[in-house]
Amino acid sequence: MTTGHLLHESERTILLIDEIQYAKNPSNFLKYLFDTYDRNLKIIATGSSAFYLDTKFKDSLAGRKKLFNLKTLNFKEYLLFIEKHELVSELIQIRSRKEYLSARYNEILNYFNDYLIFGGYPVVVLEKNKKNKIDYLKELVNSYIKKDIYESKVENELKFYNLLELLASQTTNIINKNEIANTLMISQKTVERYIYIMRKCFYLNTLLPFYSNIRKEITKMPKIFFYDLGLRNVLINNFTNINNRNDKGQLLENYVYIRLNELYDKDNIRYWRTTQQNEVDFIITETYRKGKAIEVKYDTSSLKQSKYNAFKKYYTNYPLQFVCFMSENLNIALPVLKL
Q: What is the pLDDT of residue 22?
A: 80
Within 8 A by CB and 6+ apart from 155, the residues are: 190
Of 33, 34, 42, nearest in space to 3 by CA: 33
Judge contact between 300 and 332, C-beta under 8 A: yes
Of 280, 231, 287, 290, nearest in space to 256 by CA: 280
The vertex-197 CA angle with 53 and 43, nearest 5°, equals 20
Q: What is the pLDDT of residue 182?
A: 97
- Cα gap 116→136, rounded to integer Å: 16
Average pLDDT of span 128-143: 95
Average pLDDT of span 185-189: 96
Average pLDDT of span 246-252: 96
Q: What percent of the chain has pLDDT over 70?
A: 93
Q: What percent of the chain has pLDDT over 90?
A: 63
Annotate 110-130 with DSSP letters as a single string. Answer: HHHHHHHHH-S-HHHHH---H
Better-predicted residue by pLDDT, 217 or 255: 255
- Cα gap 46→43, rounded to integer Å: 10
Residue 144 predicted with pLDDT over 90: no
CA 251 to chain CA centroid, nearest Å = 12
Q: What is the pLDDT of residue 58?
A: 66
Of 173, 224, 222, nearest in space to 198 by CA: 224
- Cα gap 202→72, rounded to integer Å: 10
Q: What is the pLDDT of residue 45?
A: 84
- Whole-angstrom distance between the N-terminal and C-terminal Cα of the chain? 46
Give 212's DSSP letter. Answer: S
Q: What is the pLDDT of residue 90?
A: 97
The per-residue pLDDT for range 68-97, each reduced to its tens digit, is: 788 999 999 999 999 999 999 999 999 999
pLDDT band for 3, please (50, 70, 90 cuts).
Answer: very low
The per-residue pLDDT for range 103-116, each reduced to its tens digit, is: 999 999 999 999 99
- One-letter amino acid of 90: E
Average pLDDT of span 270-292: 94
Q: What is the pLDDT of residue 1?
A: 44
Q: What is the pLDDT of residue 55?
A: 67
**What's the full length of the chain, in residues?**
339
Q: Which of 36-45, 51-60, 322-331 has the lowest mean pLDDT?
A: 51-60
Q: Which of 36-40, 99-103, 127-131 has the highest mean pLDDT?
A: 127-131
Mean pLDDT, the chain, integer? 90
Mutual angle of helices 229-236 and 105-118, in 10-degree steps = 60
pTM of the model: 0.90
Q: What is the pLDDT of residue 7?
A: 52
Q: What is the pLDDT of residue 2?
A: 45
Residue 226 predicted with pLDDT over 60: yes
pLDDT band for 290, please (50, 70, 90 cuts).
Answer: very high
Average pLDDT of span 41-51: 77
The per-residue pLDDT for range 17-41, each reduced to its tens digit, is: 888 878 888 888 888 888 888 778 8
Residue 321 predicted with pLDDT over 50: yes
Of 51, 5, 47, nearest in space to 23 by CA: 47
Judge contact between 228 and 125, C-beta under 8 A: no
Give 145's DSSP letter. Answer: I
Q: What is the pLDDT of residue 10?
A: 61
Better-predicted residue by pLDDT, 28 or 242: 242
Residue 59 predicted with pLDDT over 80: no
Q: How many CB atoms lie within 10 A of CB 122?
A: 12
